[in-house]
Amino acid sequence: MRIVQTVNTNPRHLPYMNIRVRYAPSPTGLQHIGGIRTALFNYLYARSSGGKFLLRLEDTDQNRCDAQCEQNLYDSLAWLGIQWDEGPVTGGPFAPYIQSQRTELYRQHAQQLLDKGLAYRCFCTTERLDQVRSEREAAKLSETGYDRNCRNIDSEESKRRSVNETYTVRLYIPLKGDITRFSDKLLGDIEWKNSDINPDPVLLKSDGFPTYHLANVVDDHFMEITHILRAQEWLSSTPIHVILYNAFGWKAPVFCHLPMVMGQDGKKLSKRHGATSIDEFRRSGYLPEALINYTALLGCSYEEGKDLYTVEELGTLFNVDKINKAPAIFDYKKLEWYNGQYIRKKSNEELADLSMPYALEQSLFGKEMLQPAIEQKNLYIAAMELVRERAVFLAEIPEKLQYLFTEPPLPAPEEFIPKKADLRSALSLLRTGAELLPEFFPNETALSDDAMEHIVKETAERNSIKLGDLLMPLRVAITGARVSPPLFASIRLLGAGRCQARIGAALTALTEACNN
């Protein structure tokens, strides 16, 4: 491959009246970040240009296709809010959009190439192909791919043998030093030596199903796809597709091969870097808005000085010219920041609703509880203010609020002790804190958090106590931990009775510890 020059055409001024792009995955695995980034860029390009975004299912590898993976595709796109204009379920003028339902069209076009002498039947068995591969490896030859054994079989003999013998249909790749040329919107003009192209790739398999190459080109033509945005790992397939377009006499779409998504170590993003499937991100408690926002920025720029975008804003601002050529680095910490930002934008009700499935899964309200009681639900909604500013994932919200719904285990005595203090000091500090509790609940109604804090500060100053030292034993008694959500809000939500019981149990435990 040789890149000749860089092309800088504004996609909004391309000679296409109606932009039509597609995402065409195989249902052989769960949707992951790389695939979703491709889907998202196509979706945003369609929205920014007033075009159409198609979803197509490339399921011709029947041995690897999985119905669960197909459903995962639909569920992942729906969760992310990426809605296709034409495709499975939705329908459209070029239905069906599932390749296994279009096999007759592929067979017809394979036959067209046979009739033109631009493809040929290959009668090589799997055993023969395996033998050729083994012999090359044993001889340490650099040659790879098909050895063109059937390329020169006479057409009449080929027809005669096809009656009784199993065969595939292979594409004639022009030889004799020919070069295949095409332009890429991002990479520029590219020249590819035909001698470097996969030798005579299979177009139609022996079971009558097409390979990716044939089905891809035929479908893109008949579905009137104008632009192909796909990962750079498919770049080596493009010369084959260009040869096919030329063989059929069709105009090729505009190609744009997107840079890869890499981990921090510079290697292709994979499970060793962390979560990669959309299901994993969803289970971990990421919000779809955060994942969309961050993924849209992987290798593409929008406005200076702005980080947060709605999907509508992204659909207005997206521009192919702003895609970077260099690989995009996936930064999990940056994604966590985005997730935290979107969590903070949620109301108490929204955040409670989003995190409720995790609360039920973690049995926050009791084992086998399918729904919380009304009082529990109201407390859970109110408690969102305690965690909103600190939460990074939805899944961690119930964990942080466990102490509000169940009695936490009484911590060990040493947990109550502030720095540079001892057990007796901790006991004295907790007694001082306990004496303030009635002031927090005059007429059984809790004061505001600010009012409680003011009382504690005045008490600390009056008794020459560090504020942090006074709060530490009280925090541990109330929440069961040295680090917790805001203390005064916790006291307010728990109420006087529950706070008094917890402080009383802690005072008893510390007194016993001091006497032993």
Question: How many Cβ atoms from other residues are within 10 Å of residue 441's Cβ?
Answer: 18
Contact 103, 131 (CB under 8 A): no
Spatial separation of the C-alpha atoms in residues 200 and 202, rounded to whole Å: 7
Spatial separation of the C-alpha atoms in residues 377 and 398, rounded to whole Å: 12
Closest alpha carbon to 89 in 70, 65, 63, 69? 70
Sign of CA dihedral 300, 306, 307, 312: negative
Contact 258, 146 (CB under 8 A): no
What residues have CB less than 8 Å from 33, skipping those under 6 apart?
261, 269, 276, 278, 295, 330
Using the CB atoms, write b or e for 397-431: b if 16+ within 10 Å: bbebbbbbbeebebbebebbbbeebeeebbbbbbe
What residues have CB less than 8 Å from 342, skipping those under 6 apart?
287, 289, 290, 293, 308
Going by the DSSP 8-state scheme, the letter that residue 368 receives in this structure is T
To the query of whether residue 271 is one of the catalytic residues in this protein, the response is yes
Is residue 103 exposed (0-12), middle (13-18) or buried (19+ Cβ within 10 Å)?
middle
Closest alpha carbon to 41 in 441, 314, 425? 314
* Catalytic position from the list 267, 268, 271, 325: 271
> Which residues are annotated as catalytic?
271
